[in-house]
Amino acid sequence: MNVNNIGGWMQQALYLSMGAKHDYSEYLRQIEAPTLVIYGTDDIIEQNSVQLYLDYIPNVTFKSISGSHFMFYDNSHEFGSTLSDFLHKYE
């Protein structure tokens, strides 16, 4: 990640973490609910960052859709249908 191009709360998060690496894998393994992870293809966060969730959440579904970190705004139709399809599987 190029830290010169980050914005929003990311700068504060990097500062406050003081470079510490946090391992949440134990907690992610404990998630029992079906989980949907949606990634925007134009997100500033690299897609390999999402891999942690895919590796450790037991019942995870992954969908990559066109758009930024705010793909729900950029591509609301695909986001909505992705979310709707996921929720209908668990009615």
pLDDT tens-place string over residues 37-48:
999 999 888 888
Higher-confidence residue: 23 or 90?
90
Full-model pTM: 0.72
Phi/psi region, residue 52 (left: phi>0; alpha: psi -120 to 50; beta: rest), is alpha
Q: How far apart are CA 73 and CA 21, in angstroms?
A: 31
- List helix spans (H) across the chain: 10-17, 25-29, 51-56, 71-74, 76-88
Task: Please report the pLDDT score of residue 91 as a whole number.
Answer: 85
Closest-CA residue to 71 (of 60, 81, 61):
81
H or E element that contains 36: strand 35-40
Q: In angstroms, what CA-CA distances link 68 with 20, 75, 88?
A: 27, 9, 25
